[in-house]
Amino acid sequence: MSNQKVWFITGCSTGFGRELAKAVLQKGDYVVVTARNKLDIKDIVDPYPDSSIACALDVTNAEQIDESVKIAIERFGKIDILVNNAGIGYFSTIEESDEREVRKMFEINYFGLIQLTSKVLPYLRKEKSGFIVNFSSIGGLMSFPSVGHYNATKFAVEGYSEALSKELVGTNIKVLIVEPGPFRTDWAGRSAVAENIKISEYSDTSAVKDSMREGSGKEAGDPVRAAHAIIEVVESTKPPLRLLLGEIALNNAYVKLGELKNDFDNWKDLTLSADFPK
């Protein structure tokens, strides 16, 4: 295998996962390409029979997690880079959300991610190196109306990933949190569920939801360029913990930083007054 790396990528049927798998194969590395339906990724692996393998993987299915990791190790002997990309969206106000849909989204966006990571980590530690790439969102740094529960799943990914990166200091295993803005990945299309917003007080939120969904397929972000950006970070000698993708993500992140600084500075005296007197 020489210096070729083995990538394990979830959610490859569309969007970031699909473009990343294609880009990695084109550059000559090995890829375990996964999706819930293997037929959706057949066109990715067929041109690369020696360097890729397709696995059926629903990240909420523990048996499929075990089996796909086992197949990866049997085929390639190791895993170097785990990319937790699989995820779904959900549009609704907080008050009108369907708890079943919210729990389903958490199972995919968060619990599936941590379960797969737990299965792969022993192999990364055995190799004394590796990379874990966890997809968050600009919605993991700041919240937006109509996707509050989606934001919550990505805030969870952020907290988990940051803690994991600190626990892995000294192991030579790196963690990258990917924070895209709007990209043409069909996230707001077939990969999302949307509830009808009926409460009149949320009419503005309903308009935001409709705007997000109507913009699907017209976003500024290019998944192909994003894939190459992720590869560049993984191959860098001093990778960041967080990678914002797209101008909208960057602009919103700076807005969030400003909001935090404003609150911290304006309420500094009251904050400090909460300690025991020195």
Q: What is the pLDDT of residues 225-259, one digit of tens each?
A: 999 999 999 999 999 999 999 999 999 999 999 99
With a cut of 60, say whether residue 156 has pLDDT above it. yes
> What are the structure tokens assigned to 102, written together?
């919210």
pLDDT, averaged across the chain:
93
Helices 15-27, 223-234: axis angle to 10 degrees equals 60
Residue 179: predicted pLDDT? 98
Mean pLDDT of the region 57-74: 98
| Cα–Cα distance, 189 to 207 (Å, whole number) | 16
Mean pLDDT of the region 127-141: 97
More confident position, 96 or 184:
96
Q: What is the DSSP letter of 140?
A: G
Nearest to 96 by CA among 31, 132, 148: 148
Domain boundaries, the chain: 6-272
The highest-level CATH class for domain 6-272 is alpha beta
Residue 243: predicted pLDDT? 98
Residue 198: predicted pLDDT? 83
More confident position, 209 or 11:
11
Q: Could you confirm whether 126 is annotated as catalytic? A: no
Which are the contacts of 14, defined by CB distance < 8 A and separation ≥ 6? 40, 185, 186, 190, 191
| Cα–Cα distance, 48 to 273 (Å, whole number) | 63
Is the pTM higher than 0.95? The answer reads no
Tell me the per-residue pLDDT of 181-228, one tens digit each, with 9 for 90 and over.
988 776 655 666 877 878 888 888 876 766 665 656 667 789 999 999
Q: Could you confirm whether 202 is annotated as catalytic? A: no
Q: Could you confirm whether 154 is annotated as catalytic? A: yes
Residue 206: predicted pLDDT? 72
> What are the structure tokens assigned to 83, written together?
């990319």
Q: Name the catalytic one among 13, 52, 92, 136.
A: 136
Residue 170: predicted pLDDT? 93
Q: Name the catalytic one among 5, 22, 119, 154.
A: 154
Please list the residues that pair with 34 across neighbouring strands: 55
| Cα–Cα distance, 90 to 104 (Å, whole number) | 10
Q: Name the catalytic one among 30, 48, 90, 150.
A: 150
